[in-house]
Amino acid sequence: MASEGTAAESTLTEPQARHITYCGVCTLPPEYCEFGGTAKKCKEWLEKNQPDLHEKLYSEEAVAATLATLSVDAQKRAVKDSQKKEAKAAAAEAKAAETKAQAQVLIKRVERNKRKYVTAVSGLEAHGMDLKKVAKEWGKKFATGSSVTKTASGGEEVVMQGDNSDEIFDWVVDVAGVPEANVDCIEDKKKKGT
């Protein structure tokens, strides 16, 4: 009996680890990219970075084999669903581009004391910038204190010590790529307390 138990144990092996490729766009395995909202971008990424896997998943033979297993009604629904998802993704992409094109960046120079100023910049997050990273970069670039604060309206803005509005305007246009028409400079004076 003891010899049978050891023979069975020797035939069992530990499971081997599998190497799984993940999509660079949606971070799902490529087999599941179709269930996300970015199937078209995922397909382009896969074709560029993993051509052999792209051929395996999206070749005409693979698509025909997948569709052949479905009933006629299911095939029609699958085609309709994929068209719907593509249209929805394209509409979302167009809406995001339109929002980005209309977003304004406001650079306010606020007077603190007689000759002391603070520069506040709002609207950068609409252009895809991380405000904390921008504040840190500006603090180093302009050698001044810089932080992210909440505004009264619920948004966030980058506040810097000193009058750096001209340099910030140039940085926003040149480095961030915001159109010059979407950047406004405002001078704001604090009212004296009574």
Residue 52, pLDDT score: 86
Mean of the pLDDT values across residues 126-138?
A: 86
Residue 194, pLDDT score: 39
pLDDT at 129 over 70: yes
Please tell me the distance from the alpha carbon of residue 88 to that of residue 91, in angstroms, as a whole number: 5
Residue 42, pLDDT score: 85
Q: Which of 5-9, 17-21, 23-27, 85-89 has the lowest mean pLDDT?
A: 5-9
Mean of the pLDDT values across residues 127-136?
A: 86
In terms of Cα–Cα distance, which of 23, 81, 79 is closest to 47?
Answer: 23
Three-class secondary structure of residue 178 per DSSP:
coil
pLDDT at 11 over 50: yes
pLDDT at 39 over 80: no
Residue 3, pLDDT score: 55
pLDDT at 4 over 70: no
Contact 121, 115 (CB under 8 A): no
| pLDDT bucket at 192, cuts 50 / 70 / 90 | low
pLDDT at 159 over 70: yes
In terms of Cα–Cα distance, which of 118, 149, 120 is closest to 132?
Answer: 149
Residue 26, pLDDT score: 83
Mean of the pLDDT values across residues 137-166?
A: 88
**CA-CA-CA-CA torsion sign (143, 147, 152, 154):** positive
pLDDT at 191 over 60: no
Give this prediction's pTM: 0.54
Strand positions, DSSP E, 32-179:
105-111, 117-122, 146-150, 156-161
pLDDT at 141 over 70: yes
Tell me what percent of the residues of the chain surpass a pLDDT of 90: 3
Residue 190, pLDDT score: 61
Residue 7, pLDDT score: 52
